[in-house]
Amino acid sequence: MKRFILLLSPLINLISPSIISSDEQRIPIVINTWDFTNATVKAWDVINRQKKSAIDAIVKGCSVCEREQCDGTVGYGGSPNENGETCLDAFLMDGRTMNIGAVGSIRNIKDAIAVAKHVLLYTKHSLLVGEQATQFALMMGFKKQSLSTEKSKAMHRDWKKKNCQPNFWTNVLPSPENSCGPYVPMSEDFLTSAHEYQSFFSNYNHDTIGMVAIDVNGNIATGTSTNGVNHKIPGRVGDSPIPGAGGYADNAVGAAAATGDGDILMRFLPSMLAVEFMRNGMTPDEAGRKALARISHHYPKFVGAIVVVDKNGNYGAACHGIDSFPFSVYHSKLKNVKVEKRECAMSI
């Protein structure tokens, strides 16, 4: 992940408005986090040439990143957990029905976003997790495959050689700052009640793909796919499959998709906040900025970004705590996919 560079005093970036009149709507439209343009192009082909649904576009687009292992942070072979295993999170939301399908920490299944679609279509649930999500996928006809690669195995070996640094433990013994464990909890009498936020974002850690699509019928969908954060504690589920955190969509308003430090983002549901801010009259860029401001008020050094689209195809984005944030867009007024890059503001 070559874009998450912490700034000394990060502020939130506000993108200049991408506003158009109602008679110049940019529909259909596909927009996704980062410069994963192959995913954008595939999703665009699905809704523009094939005239399929926004849901189909999201699934096909995110599937490209799962196969291509975008930046090593989507799909198999990346972000091994403490046991050296890669697990996947994925999410899909239909803005027409408000239905959701998601999987968290799914094991041994490469097609996470497609499994999320099966949760949406073939169950009355919203989120399945862990080994039970794998069993569901097998029942639905998906193939069981290892998600580890020689590269992910090497990443895990190197991490072990460095005394398992960094890791996500706190208030345990022996000290997680110089030990791999196993750990036991400290007495509650000695627990520290607050911890200074520390980001572990670095190259390859991590660029969730978050995508929004509006099809020719004006139906809106959003989806995400990721292999999470490097060296996470087994069983950890990030923000990506959490409704309102990784993504949110409502045909009446628009949609948003977020990326960044999932353990922080999920506490504030920035994607839902952005949609609700648009419902109250804000432009997409204003909504994205305010959603991230809600987080930075509590975590001034957090790392994250968001893309936001209203129901007419107006779009914007905002970012915080990173050097820059590229995102990809393809809409009815463009001849080719376009990558827009926004520098995030900072103060000296």
pLDDT in tens, 273-322: 999 999 999 999 999 999 999 999 999 989 999 999 999 999 999 999 88
78 is in an annotated binding site: no
- The answer, yes or no, to whether residue 54 has pLDDT greater than 60, is yes
Please count the structural domains in the chain: 1
Residue 161 is assigned to a structural domain of this protein:
no
Contact 54, 215 (CB under 8 A): yes
- The answer, yes or no, to whether residue 3 has pLDDT greater than 60, is no
Contact 87, 105 (CB under 8 A): yes
237 is in an annotated binding site: yes
Q: How far apart are CA 66 and CA 263, in angstroms?
A: 22
238 is in an annotated binding site: yes
pLDDT at position 17: 45
Residue 176 is assigned to a structural domain of this protein:
no
Q: Which of 277, 214, 167 is nearest to 285 (CA)?
A: 277
Q: How far apart are CA 44 and CA 55, in angstroms?
A: 12
Residue 240 is assigned to a structural domain of this protein:
yes
Residue 333: domain span: 12-148+200-343
Up-side HSE of residue 60: CA atoms within 13 Å toward CB?
Answer: 17
Rg, C-alpha atoms of the chain: 19
Residue 108 is assigned to a structural domain of this protein:
yes
Cis amide leading into 243 (omega within 30): no
Q: How far apart are CA 64 and CA 73, in angstroms?
A: 13
In this prediction, residue 197 has a pLDDT band, given cuts at 50, 70 and 90, of low
- The answer, yes or no, to whether residue 10 has pLDDT greater than 90, is no
- The answer, yes or no, to whether residue 157 has pLDDT greater than 60, is yes
Residue 191 is assigned to a structural domain of this protein:
no
260 is in an annotated binding site: yes
User: What is the DSSP secondary-structure string of 105-120?
Assistant: EEES-S-HHHHHHHHH
Give the CATH number, domain containing residue 260.
Answer: 3.60.20.30
The answer, as to whether pTM is greater than 0.75, is yes
Both tokens assigned to 119: 């949760």
* pLDDT tens track for 222-271: 999 999 999 999 999 999 999 999 999 999 999 999 999 999 999 999 99
Coil, strand or helix at 259: strand
Q: How far apart are CA 199 and CA 240, in angstroms?
A: 17
Contact 19, 313 (CB under 8 A): no
Contact 62, 224 (CB under 8 A): yes
Active-site residues, by number, are: 208
222 is in an annotated binding site: no
Residue 39 is assigned to a structural domain of this protein:
yes
Q: What share of the chain is helix, strand, coil (3-state, %, to 5)?
A: 30, 25, 45
